Structure 1
Amino acid sequence: MLNIRSLCSRLKKLLSGDVCGLNAKEGTIVAGLFMLMVSIMQLIFEAGHFRYLKAHFRSTDNDYSNLFAFCIGTITFTCLTIIAVILLFLFIWKELFWGVAGYITWIFLYEISKICFLSILMPGNSGLPSSVKALEWFGLTMRLLSHIFWMLFVTAYAIELYKISRNTDDSSKNKRKTPPKLKFAKVKELGV
């Protein structure tokens, strides 16, 4: 039986980034590896689209300009995402808050651009089989659902880095108060 108290404790554990035996930093690394794997798969998929379009473009007189724009745009954004993942690993290593926060921003921009590409540049009469369009939308949906899970880790790690950077930037918190130096007299001065 699930009660409110156990639900709240599970949500706190989830939001703290300690899920599946991973802390926030480890989860961020795995999130980067996940996005790297997905990006490589997306590049392979879009290269297949590109080969398909080149073969069919020569044999027919149909206008494939939207599909070419879709393929080029998707390949460009995917290559930029691979660069963003590599930079994420660098920012994790250097423990830079702004880099991890920038990665979160990039993922949101990437997914919004993918939704726009799919809805605008891939119309119903594009020339691709309907199974490919369905696969594109399915891939987008699954990636969005996966990002919800992985962004918990990345956001928790960004918050940790922000707290660390805020504490190190505040010089008044860093100064340790040392006790006053005590002066001890030498034996000769005491007259013993």
Structure 2
Amino acid sequence: MKQKRWCGLNAKEGTIMAGLFMMMVSIMQLIFDVGNFRYLKPPFTSDSTNNRGSSLQIFTIGSTVLTCLTIVAVILLFLAIWKEIFWGVAGYITWIFLNELSNICLMSFLLPELDRLPKSMRALEWFGLITRLLSHIFWMMFVTSHAINLYKVSRNTDDPLKNERKTPPKLKFAKVKELGV
């Protein structure tokens, strides 16, 4: 099997780099999310700001939970790369898609309501989401390619009959002495 290389990396190396990238981004996002907890105030405020306070709580806690689950997904990705498990890499692709879709929904519905967050922080949240989405396009080429390679290998090793190379039956030709010529 010919190994394709993009940017000097083959599919497995690119998948490892994608995992390292996502781990770094997740840790940075977790630090940012924990910093948003300082804008939470006790829920014993007036009724007009209580609804917005609950939106901030939902946004901050939801974003933190998604980030922590992403860190777990990256650790499972590294385990799947090490053990060469197709479903682990395919599960990571699915998780990244669902995670980013959840982040888009969370930010689209809750972020405009949050008056407690400064506008610069809201802009920074959107900038982080957009740059992360653009970088996923690049890294998912490697992860998807590695998942396809693992699928091909696992498909061939699951059935022992497929491993045996089918050869045509050997034809026996008579020698000149046997023909009596």
TM-score range with shorter-chain normalisation?
0.7 to 0.9
Deviations 1:5-46 (A, max 9, x none): xxxxxxxxxxx7511111000000000000000000000001
Q: CA RMSD in A?
A: 2.3
Determine the C-alpha separation between the residues in 2 that align with 1:158 and 1:169. Answer: 16
- The correspondence of residues 91-130 of structure 1 with structure 2, limited to 5 A, is 91-130=80-119
Deviations 1:101-141 (A, max 9, x none): 00000000000000011011222453211111111001000
- The correspondence of residues 1-192 of structure 1 with structure 2, limited to 5 A, is 18-54=5-41, 57=42, 61=46, 62-63=49-50, 64-175=53-164
Query: TM-score when scaled to structure 2?
Result: 0.83
Structure 1 runs (4+) deviating above 6 angstroms are 177-180
Query: TM-score when scaled to structure 1?
Result: 0.79
| Gap change, CA 1:53 and 1:170, over 3 Å in 2 | same
| Gap change, CA 1:117 and 1:25, over 3 Å in 2 | same
| Gap change, CA 1:154 and 1:129, over 3 Å in 2 | same
Give the conservation status (yes or no) of the 8 Å contact 1:27–1:154. yes
Unaligned ranges ≥5, structure 2? 171-181
| Gap change, CA 1:125 and 1:67, over 3 Å in 2 | closer
Determine the C-alpha separation between the residues in 1 that align with 2:43 and 2:166. Answer: 77
The amino acid of 2:31's aligned partner reads I
Percent identity for Structure 1 against Structure 2: 68
Unaligned ranges ≥5, structure 1? 1-15, 181-192
Q: Which deviates more, 169-178 or 18-27?
A: 169-178
Query: What is the deviation of 1:169?
Result: 1.3
